Amino acid sequence: MPSTRYKQFSVLTSNTLAFTICFMVWTMFGEVGVPIADELGLSETQFGLLTAIPILIGSLVRLPLGAWTDKFGGRIVFFLLMLVTAPAVWLVQFATEYWQLLILAAFVGLAGGSFSVGITYTARWFSRDWQGTAMGIFGAGNAGAAVTKYLAPAIIVVLSWQAVANVYAAILVITAILFWFFTYSDPAHKQGKAPTLREQVEVLKDAKVWKYSQYYSVVFGGYVGVSLYLTRYYMMEYDISLQVAAAIATVFVLPGGVLRAIGGWLSDRYGAHAVTWTCMWASLLCFFVMSYPYTEYTIHTREGTMEFAFGVPMWLFTVLIFIVGVAWGFGKASVFKYLSDQYHENLGLVSGMVGLAGGLGGFLLPPMFGALIDYTGVTTSIWMLCFGFTLVSIIWMWWTERREPEITRDEFHQPTVVDPQPQRRYGEREVWGGTDR
Residues constituting the chain: 437
Nearest Cα residue to 359 out of 211, 217, 241, 238: 217
pLDDT in tens, 53-93: 888 888 788 777 877 787 777 888 889 999 999 999 999 88
CATH superfamily of 4-403: MFS general substrate transporter like domains (1.20.1250.20)
In DSSP notation, 377-429 reads: --TTHHHHHHHHHHHHHHHHHIIIIISSPPB-GGG---TT--SPPPS--SSSP
pLDDT in tens, 176-201: 999 988 887 765 555 555 556 566 66
Q: At CA 62, angle to CA 46 and CA 322, rounded to 5?
A: 60
302 three-class SS: coil
310 backbone φψ class: left, alpha, beta (φ>0; ψ -120 to 50): beta
pLDDT tens by residue, the chain, 437 residues: 667 778 778 888 888 888 889 888 888 887 788 788 888 887 877 887 888 888 888 878 877 787 778 777 788 888 999 999 999 999 988 888 888 888 888 898 888 888 778 877 887 777 766 766 777 778 777 777 778 877 888 888 888 888 888 899 999 999 999 998 888 776 555 555 555 656 666 666 777 778 888 888 888 888 888 887 888 888 888 888 877 888 888 888 777 666 776 777 787 778 778 888 888 899 999 999 888 887 777 888 777 787 777 778 889 999 999 999 888 888 887 887 777 777 766 666 677 678 777 777 877 887 888 888 888 888 888 888 889 889 988 888 888 766 544 333 343 344 444 444 444 443 343 333 343 43
Please report, for the chain, how many H helices and E strands are present, in that order. Answer: 19, 2
Rounded to an integer, what distance in angstroms lies between the CA atom of residue 188 and that of residue 103?
Answer: 39
Radius of gyration of the chain (CA): 22
Q: Which residue ranges make up each domain of the chain?
A: 4-403
The contacts of residue 169 (CB under 8 Å, 6+ apart) are 86, 87, 89, 90
